[in-house]
């Protein structure tokens, strides 16, 4: 294939050109953190030199011929001075007013102003935003930060992933330092798979994605880890539930190393949990860990190579009420990125990576024993150029992905007699993409962002699918009209394709999902989405609202969403193809006054699907339909030492299809189900409280003590629904009895957080 060869040619050309590249230059804008307006006449001085400049009326400054390891100092009367390493300078820098000069100060909740963004619903979170979150079980979780935004919910009690604007968990793309991350949550959503201690920034988009992102329909989460430190430092925590440690180590002027690890020991609480149906009951055992490492090497003043590795693992053993169920799943990511800065406005980036995910489940549910295994592997090569000019931003590039999916490998037996199952072969397909984005201003009030992505989808044949080729064109358009300095209107349209299909066992609240590839009969999923937004920001108040509508065609589900499909010889025979519509209203308000920070979000939405072969061809609510979702965050800084926090969550329960009974036909068990998604889990709601005490800083050492009360009023949110039977295999009819396990109960935990 010629595409990788040309990309390699460009890569080598860039390295050669780097030897004659220009001197270091930087450019940025400085904004007032309170009012979110540009700050003029800010002094920008290169530390230890006489070189410097001032910002213009737009808050913009430029500096040329700067050493790559230099530090700049920003200062102006009435503002706190700020020192930043050149390599850490972002497009926008915020200066905070000196609180001592004012009796009352009002500041914005997040540094990401929606007024500046062209794309509706696109949010940028910095380290400061994460630090302002209340603690959950001693952690400030960056993925939870996304869940507290409107239009986003945790997928299901006990499952991984996010539900974004009516889409399911498979429709979200998550990138960690440009590497594909398949699973983003640990069990029950108690912890996300991302340890926020190593996160530098996160950008989340639910409309108008960059054309460089593709293959998913609902959202993109782009996570960047910490940059190389000017000096070595460590931070971490010791707690009752988990321990973690992160180190950003400067080896020398060219080499640095970022390492971060985390491990839970939830078994500590088992003796104190009386509820045997809880995940932490005496008959259960669960632990998780994750580990990240990144080596950075400065090839030259303009070139840098970063090599990354990331591991996650979950293990859960469930022996409640005599059953024997085991689950484990995890990610393994490995990648290298070469980036080159030709000038202050022209750069390139090349990433090669491999992502592997595996899930396995064994159980003795119903009247048979079974073991199921599923894997998902993606090898990626991506290259792009970026021109970032004051009047426009232009990105162009290409990518190649080689995908391997094993939907299921199942062994099963009934009364110790093996059930003959023809397991699926590994499905393989390639996707090749060319993309371009252009963002520009038509006037001071009107700004446009357009993108186009051309994708080629090539499948390999196996026992179930034939070789196939498909080509798709994906346009994206976003418009922002700023009617005044503090309010704006936004519009977005996008058409996207997804080559994989998720098929879930909806009667389980477990991460038991299979992934299938598109075939000649089952075409790629296609979404057309329209968004309208209104934003108002003034005097520390942020109000965001949006209306959205999306239609997804070629959407697939299992006929019953049932465990019967584990034993199917051809999983495609149990797949039905239809469509679904999702529409909703999103509202959010952020406010900070003095020491009190408040944030609230409300989403009212509906997701309905239609299949010719299900529910007599009538629309029905999908398993990921969540009509109501509310979350509230309150944070109060009592003084310089004590900080109080609270989080309240409420969301509609998951729809599922309940099994009614088992009929034994020709010695094969067949489960009969009620109408599609006729049942719904109880509504999920939870209150978390936290208190943090900061000890007096001693030199480079600082520490905090955090007490968190998770699920403060001990609501028994269901983790999973399981079934027992009345009868045996000699009967032609076996009754099914429904039971429920609770999610995590009231959990007090104490964490000591430190940095040095």
Alpha-carbon distance of 364 to 138, in angstroms, equals 36
- How high is the pLDDT of residue 108? 36
Out of 70, 101, 132, a domain closes at 101
Write down the pLDDT at residue 127.
77
- The pLDDT of residue 494: 94
**pLDDT of amino acid 729:** 56
Q: How far is the CA of 33 from the CAs of 29, 133, 220, 245, 343, in angstroms?
A: 12, 17, 26, 31, 29
Residues 69 and 145 in one domain: no
Question: Do 508 and 417 share a structural domain?
Answer: yes
The answer to the question of residue 162 being in a domain is yes
Confidence of residue 3 (pLDDT cuts 50, 70, 90): very low
**pLDDT of the residue at 320:** 67
What are the Cα distances from residue 76, in Å, to 27, 62, 94, 111, 721? 18, 17, 12, 20, 60
Decide if pLDDT at 279 tops 90: no
Whether residues 424 and 279 share a domain: the answer is yes
Tally of structural domains, the chain: 2
| One domain, residues 29 and 172 | no
Same domain, 143 and 77: no
Q: What is the pLDDT of residues 212-258, one digit of tens each?
A: 999 999 999 999 999 888 889 898 888 877 889 999 999 998 999 99
For residue 261, the SS3 value is strand
- Please write down the HEC assignment for all residues of 394-417: EEEEEEEEEEEEEEEEEEEEECCE
User: Average pLDDT of 150-167?
Assistant: 74
List b or e across 297-334, with b for residues whose CB sees 16 or more CB atoms inside 10 angstroms.
Answer: ebeebbbbebebebebbbebebebeeeebebebbbbbe
Q: Is the pLDDT of residue 62 over 80?
A: yes
Kindly report the number of other CB atoms within 10 A of residue 633's CB atom: 23
Domain assignment of residue 357, yes or no: yes
> Is residue 601 predicted with pLDDT exceeding 70?
yes
Q: Does residue 651 sit in the same domain as residue 717?
A: yes
Q: How confident is the model at residue 271 (pLDDT cuts 50, 70, 90)?
A: low
Do residues 54 and 162 both lie within one domain?
A: no
Max distance between CA atoms of the chain, in angstroms, equals 91
Within-domain flag for 695: yes
**What is the extent of the structural domain holding 77?**
2-101
490 with 368, same domain: the answer is yes
Strand order across the 219-225 sheet? 123-126, 199-205, 219-225, 172-176, 179-180
Q: Per-residue pLDDT for 175 more than 90?
A: yes
Could you report the per-residue pLDDT of 690-724, keeping only the tens digit for each?
Answer: 898 989 888 888 888 989 898 899 888 776 666 66
Q: What's the full length of the chain, in residues?
A: 756
Bridge partners of residue 609, in order along the sequence: 580, 620
Within a domain: 118: no
Other C-beta atoms lying within 10 Å of the C-beta of residue 125: 23
Same domain, 351 and 269: yes
Mean pLDDT of the chain: 81
Q: What is the DSSP letter of 183?
A: -
**Rounded-to-integer distance, Cα 624 and Cα 697, Å:** 47
Final residue belonging to a domain, choices 47, 67, 101: 101
Residue 33: which CATH number?
Answer: 2.60.40.1120
Question: Looking at the predicted structure, is the pLDDT value of residue 325 above 80?
Answer: no
Report the candidate in 744, 565, 647 with the shortest Cα–Cα distance to residue 158. 744
Which domain CATH number covers 608?
Answer: 2.40.170.20
Ranked by mean pLDDT, which of 40-44, 100-104, 190-194 comes out on top? 40-44
Model confidence, pTM: 0.79
- Considering the domain architecture, whether residues 30 and 86 belong to the same structural domain is answered as yes
223/266 same-domain check: yes
* pLDDT tens digits, one per residue of 415-431: 677 766 666 678 899 99
Same domain for 180 and 290?
yes
> Average pLDDT, stretch 322-337?
86
Is 109 part of any domain? no
**Alpha-carbon distances of 373 from 10, 333, 406, 561, 752, rounded to whole Å:** 40, 19, 8, 18, 38
Classify residue 115: in a domain, yes or no. no
In a domain, 204, yes or no: yes
**Do residues 237 and 263 lie in contact, with contact meaning Cβ atoms separated by under 8 Å?**
no
Whether residue 114 is contained in a domain is answered as no
| Other C-beta atoms lying within 10 Å of the C-beta of residue 618 | 11
Report pLDDT digits (tens) over 105-134.
Answer: 333 334 456 777 888 878 888 877 777 666
């Amino acid at each position: 294939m010629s595409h990788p060869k040309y990309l390699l040619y460009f890569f080598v050309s860039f390295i050669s050109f780097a030897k004659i590249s220009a001197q270091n230059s930087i450019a940025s804008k400085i904004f007032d953190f309170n009012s979110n307006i540009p700050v003029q006449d800010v002094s920008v001085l290169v530390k230890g030199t006489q070189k410097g400049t001032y910002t213009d009326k737009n808050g913009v400054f430029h500096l040329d011929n700067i050493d790559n390891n230099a530090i700049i100092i920003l200062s102006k009367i009435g503002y706190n001075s700020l020192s930043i390493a050149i390599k850490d300078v972002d497009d926008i820098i915020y200066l905070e007013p000196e609180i001592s000069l004012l009796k009352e100060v009002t500041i914005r909740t997040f540094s990401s102003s929606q007024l500046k963004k062209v794309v509706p619903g696109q949010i940028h979170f910095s380290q400061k935003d994460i630090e302002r979150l209340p603690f959950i079980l001693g952690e400030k979780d960056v993925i939870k930060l996304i869940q507290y935004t409107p239009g986003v919910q945790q997928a299901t009690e006990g499952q991984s992933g996010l539900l974004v604007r009516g889409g399911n968990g498979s429709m979200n793309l998550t990138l960690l330092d440009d590497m594909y991350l398949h699973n983003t949550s640990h069990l029950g959503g108690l912890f996300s798979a991302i340890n926020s201690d190593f996160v530098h920034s996160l950008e989340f988009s639910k409309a108008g994605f960059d054309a460089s992102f593709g293959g998913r329909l609902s959202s993109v989460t782009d996570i960047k880890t910490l940059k190389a430190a000017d000096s070595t430092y460590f931070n971490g925590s010791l707690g009752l539930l988990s321990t973690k440690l992160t180190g950003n180590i400067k080896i020398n002027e060219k080499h640095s190393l970022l390492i971060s690890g985390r491990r839970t020991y939830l078994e500590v609480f088992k003796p104190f949990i009386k509820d045997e149906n809880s995940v932490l009951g005496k008959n259960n055992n669960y632990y998780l860990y994750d580990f990240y490492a990144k080596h950075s090497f400065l090839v030259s003043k303009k070139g840098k190579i970063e090599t990354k590795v990331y591991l996650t693992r979950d293990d859960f053993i469930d022996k409640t009420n005599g059953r024997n169920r085991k689950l484990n799943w995890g990610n393994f990511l490995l990648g290298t990125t070469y980036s080159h800065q030709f000038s202050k406005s022209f750069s390139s980036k090349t990433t090669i990576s491999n992502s592997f995910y595996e899930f396995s489940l064994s159980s003795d549910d119903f009247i048979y024993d079974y073991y199921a295994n599923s894997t998902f592997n993606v090898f990626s090569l991506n290259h792009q150029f970026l021109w970032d000019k004051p009047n426009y931003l232009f990105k162009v590039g290409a990518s190649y992905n080689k995908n391997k999916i094993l939907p299921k490998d199942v062994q099963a037996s009934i009364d110790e007699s093996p059930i003959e199952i023809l397991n699926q072969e590994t499905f393989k397909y390639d996707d090749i993409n060319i993309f371009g984005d252009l963002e520009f201003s038509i006037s001071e009030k009107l700004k446009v962002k357009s993108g186009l992505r051309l994708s080629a989808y090539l499948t390999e044949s196996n026992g179930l699918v034939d070789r196939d080729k498909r080509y798709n064109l994906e346009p994206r358009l976003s418009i922002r009209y700023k009617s005044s300095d503090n309010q704006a209107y936004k519009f977005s349209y996008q058409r996207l394709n997804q080559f994989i299909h998720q098929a879930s066992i909806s009667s389980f609240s477990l991460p038991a999902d299979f992934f299938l590839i598109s075939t000649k009969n089952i075409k790629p999923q296609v979404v057309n989405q329209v968004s309208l937004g209104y934003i108002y920001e003034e005097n520390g108040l942020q109000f965001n609202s949006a209306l959205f509508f999306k239609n997804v065609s070629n959407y697939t589900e299992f006929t019953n969403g049932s465990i019967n499909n584990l034993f199917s010889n051809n999983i495609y025979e149990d797949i039905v193809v239809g469509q679904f519509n999702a529409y909703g209203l999103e509202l959010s308000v952020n406010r900070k006054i003095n020491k009190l920070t408040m944030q609230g979000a409300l989403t009212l939405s509906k997701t309905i699907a239609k299949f010719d072969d299900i529910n007599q061809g009538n629309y029905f609510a999908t398993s990921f339909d969540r009509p109501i979702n509310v979350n509230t965050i309150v944070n109060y800084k009592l003084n310089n030492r004590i900080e109080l926090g609270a989080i309240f969550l409420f969301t509609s329960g998951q729809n599922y299809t309940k099994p009614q009974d088992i009929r034994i036909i020709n010695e094969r068990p067949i489960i009969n189900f009620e109408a599609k998604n006729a049942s719904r889990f109880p509504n999920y709601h939870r209150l978390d409280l936290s208190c943090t005490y900061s000890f007096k800083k001693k030199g480079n050492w600082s520490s905090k003590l955090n007490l968190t009360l998770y699920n403060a009023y001990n609501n028994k949110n269901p983790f999973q629904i399981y079934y027992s039977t009345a009868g045996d295999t000699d009967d032609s009819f076996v009754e099914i009895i429904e039971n429920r396990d609770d999610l995590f109960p009231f959990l007090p935990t104490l964490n000591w957080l430190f940095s040095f």
